[in-house]
Structure formats: C-alpha cells, structure tokens
Amino acid sequence: RLDGLQASILLAKLPYILKWSKKRLDNANTYINELNMIEEVICPKIRPGSKHTFHLFVVRVKNRENLIQYLSENGIQTSIHYPAALPNMPAYKYLNYTEKDFPISSDYQNKILSLPMYPELEINQIKHICLTIKSFYKK
C-alpha cells in the first residue's frame, strides 16, 4: 500500500529506474574487476543470461571486523545487511536449529559485508574503495 506522497515520489523516480539499474550493474562490474584478484575477498557472481540490479554489493571477506574498522578509518562506510542467517534468527528459534545444521550459511553470516553501492557512485570512488581494501590485505 502506498499513500499519495509515496506514490508521487515513486512516480517521479520511475523514469530513471533503467538508467539507475544499468549504473549499478556497471558499478558492480567495476568492483568485481578490481577485487577478483584478492584471495580474501569473494565477489558475487553474475550468471550468464540473468539480470541483476545490485541493490546491494555484498562480498565475503576474511577478517571482516578489522576490515570494517580499517575502511571506516579511511572514510569508507560499509554495512552488514544480513547479520544472521535465516535459520539462526530469533523468529526460528522454536525449530531448535543450531549453526551446525546450516554450516555454510552460519559461516557466511560472519563474513558478508556490503560495500557502498548506489547509482551516483563514480568509478574513481569505487577504485579508491578497492585500493583501500587491497592495502588492508597486503599488510
């Protein structure tokens, strides 16, 4: 359900959606090209024949907490959008699952990190983010 104000904002933004989606994809490809050579960073894969809008750009990293701190100290904001795998969330506690029941998702929940992603992000900004990540792992 949308109220009138939300609908009018959406209507004003709708003509730009394809342009913004393409820019997000271009940004994602820049990240992937820049970060793929870093062993400690695993980028999302884009499957042939599929489309992705990259609302978020989520990577898996080693030493996440220290990387977050390092990026923050260098003026780069990151986020953890999915802090717990679904089976590990409080809403599913009644099912009595443990992290051992879902070892891969339980492992990933401690490694995923969202890097800056929005259509206005410029290539030089992405390259700066990637260089900062590279410098962290070269220490």
Is residue 139 over pLDDT 90? no
Q: 58-109: per-residue pLDDT in tens?
A: 999 999 999 999 999 999 999 999 899 999 999 999 999 999 999 999 999 9
Q: What angle do CA 107, 126, 44 make, to 5 degrees?
A: 35
Classify the C-alpha dihedral 39-70-129-22 as positive or negative. positive
For the CA atoms of 128, 119, 84, 65, the dihedral, rounded to the nearest 10 degrees, stands at 10
What is the distance of C-alpha 137 from the center of its chain? 19
Which tokens in the block code for residue 45? 């894969």
Nearest to 99 by CA among 81, 85, 80: 85
- What global pTM score does this model have? 0.89
